[in-house]
Structure 1
Amino acid sequence: MPLSFVIARYFAYAFAAVATAWLASFMVLSVAINAGYVYEASWGPANARDVAEGLARDGVCGQQDVPTAYRYLILNKDGKVLMTDLESTRLEDATEMARTSLAADPGTVEIKGGGSGLTYAAFPLKGGGA
């Protein structure tokens, strides 16, 4: 058997192995997304309004109530920071937006940004605060 056939055969084996590994990892990731164990990369901005409306309606008791796809800032009725995982400029921007939503009607959700950049959602919480 010529050497070129041996090399071509092993090249085909390697190509098939890479394709099989890619397909298997894609299938595992797809199953994890469909089962709810993993969020899609675009899940946060796409579901910001629904999540915000649910949190505004049900209230937030702590960090565990906020889905892991989101960073958060919670203010009390007076506009003081109660809980956050934001820092620096993002914290300043979120604080400014949240303070403006303190006076909003219950159930109002303001979305700023979206697309390929940052998305901010500000809304008053049940029982006060934003």
Structure 2
Amino acid sequence: FAGFVDTGARLVGVEAEGGAVMAFGRVGVMHGFRSMVLQDEHGQVCEAHSIAAGLDYPGIGPEHAYLGDIGRARYVTVNDDEVVEAVVRLARTEGIFAALESAHALAWIIRAAGSGELPAGANVLMTLSGRGDKDVSALMEAR
């Protein structure tokens, strides 16, 4: 988000529903930094879940925590089923096999476009990184 913070761009971060730190976390210290962390009632770090192994982390970087706190960025969640459907849809329509991590953003874009939250003709920029071939076993288990 750093390159777009000082622009008029709408910033939307997409989290895995089972590890939605911005939605369910509280301020805490983990790995030497203070940020938002998934915690239980005693302040102990809780496990996060996502179909994407790269998103199984119970914390969020300080920059994202700050952007959410000041209202500059909005953070939303998608579930594993939406992510799998986004991967399949992109593969079938464009021939691109997205990594599960990036597919979280794509899943939200598909949902937001379908609901009208993203109007027709809106300019959208998302990152599509990684390789989906590393996720074949997770996708097979999910389907």
Same fold, TM exceeding 0.5? no
Query: TM-score by structure 2 length?
Result: 0.24
Larger radius of gyration: 1
